[in-house]
Amino acid sequence: MDMTENRKCTLQIQSETGKLEAVLVHYPGAEVENMTPRHAQRALYSDILNLSIARREYDQLLAVLKKTSTVYEVVDLLAEVLEHEHLKDDLVRRVCTTEQAMEYIDYLMDLPVPNLTKVLIEGLPLRVNTLTDFLRDEYYALKPLYNYYFTRDPSAVIGNNALVCKMANSVRIRESLIMDAIFKSDLFFNGNVVNGYDLSQNDPMVKMEGGDILVIRDDILLIGNGMRTSTQGIDLLTREFCKTGSGKKHIIVQQLPESPESFIHLDMVFTMLDDDKAMVYKPLIMNNTPYQTVHMQIDNGKVTKISSASGILSLLRKLGIDLLPIVCGGKSDDWDQEREQWHSGANFLALAPGKVISYARNIHTLEELDKNGFEVVKAADIINGQRDITSAGNCVITLEGSELPRGGGGPRCMTMPLRRTIE
């Protein structure tokens, strides 16, 4: 982000594919390496990452985004928030209260802003001055935010509203606290802030994460109900969605399996590629499964009907959105579908209608896209100016990805759109 730019960005997301104008990211840092195999599961990882390789891969994503959009980085925004004493005090107290680290408040408040910014993301080692602390199987007073490069999850923009998500796992709560501080600071963005923690009064049954929330149209939300987003979380989101504007609205809920862990969010099995095309994981989205699709109809601020539907695609067709499904892993082999879905083969970010970003490793998915009119373009060719995104037709820009996918997400997971053009 150009920190000299004083104009605030007005939040506006009414689709998954409108031209991306502004996006929030977090460059993976030392927090990713502040983890051992023993603690990987607690950190919500199934493996540990090589940071230097992950950063090289992330550099490609960042460079492509900067070709088309204003890119805001969490670290820059957080540092600016912490320059304001009252905002710093509020955030530090909330973090320490939530994570039961009250004895560290004074120490944190005395840190210079660059150091405090670093600690809030990379973690704070535990001071061992009691027997209890010495015998604890814990190194950190504030754990590193291992997952923060997946900025999609702790917040989501729906219309003009910044939703601060109520995360499913305690190791990620600080991500939401930081996002809340950034949005409520009124320093960077114009828009309303909706805080899932406040609205739920910290009800433990309420869970919601941005990877499960797709804004299909200004009147249609598609939400995954699985291990990270609960029915209670969706009920809360529904109440808030009812309050925005008048007329008819629709919430489509897709139940997700609890395992494998690659089904963590809806955007791991379904993402929009264009106004009329979607990437789908066929076994879950197109085959008969025990996982329900539910249609919630809203009229003038009230839920008027809740009914079962025969899948996302047929329900969207009834609502005027006829999508061509493109199959993750290709149509010919169930094995390829399963392998490529595991490595985020269905997780796409649209930079504009029909212009999307993906990992290069999922070759069968890319072949299927090619068959459906998407030119496969290397990120390097976009970055060095050999190819221009604006003048290109439908295309898939491919990132090198050996380390980043091991964190359990793709380009959509690693980006949080703030503003898209309204078509």
CA 125, 128, 133, 136 dihedral sign is positive
pLDDT band at 4 (very low <50, low <70, confident <90, very high): very low
pLDDT digits (tens, 9 = 90+) for 87-141: 999 999 999 999 999 999 999 999 999 999 999 999 999 988 878 777 777 788 9
pLDDT confidence of residue 44: 41
pLDDT digits (tens, 9 = 90+) for 352-365: 999 999 999 999 99
pLDDT confidence of residue 31: 85
Residue 324 pLDDT exceeds 80 = yes
Average model confidence (pLDDT) for the chain?
90
Residue 247 pLDDT exceeds 70 = yes
pLDDT confidence of residue 423: 65
User: What residues does each domain of the chain span?
Assistant: 9-420
pTM value? 0.93
User: CA-CA distances (angstroms) from residue 285 to 49, 134, 261, 277, 291?
Assistant: 30, 50, 17, 14, 9
The predicted model gives 191-207 an average pLDDT of 94
Residue 292 pLDDT exceeds 90 = yes
pLDDT digits (tens, 9 = 90+) for 31-66: 877 655 555 444 444 455 778 888 889 999 999 999
User: CA-CA distances (angstroms) from residue 165 to 58, 146, 160, 405?
Assistant: 24, 17, 15, 23
pLDDT confidence of residue 265: 94
Q: Which residues pair with 213 in a beta bridge?
A: 223
pLDDT confidence of residue 136: 74
pLDDT band at 375 (very low <50, low <70, confident <90, very high): very high
Cβ–Cβ < 8 Å for 270, 328? no
In CATH terms, the superfamily for domain 9-420 is L-arginine/glycine Amidinotransferase; Chain A (3.75.10.10)
Residue 379 pLDDT exceeds 50 = yes
Report which of residues 46 and 396 the model is more confident about.
396
pLDDT confidence of residue 36: 53
pLDDT digits (tens, 9 = 90+) for 326-339: 999 987 777 788 87
The predicted model gives 143-147 an average pLDDT of 90
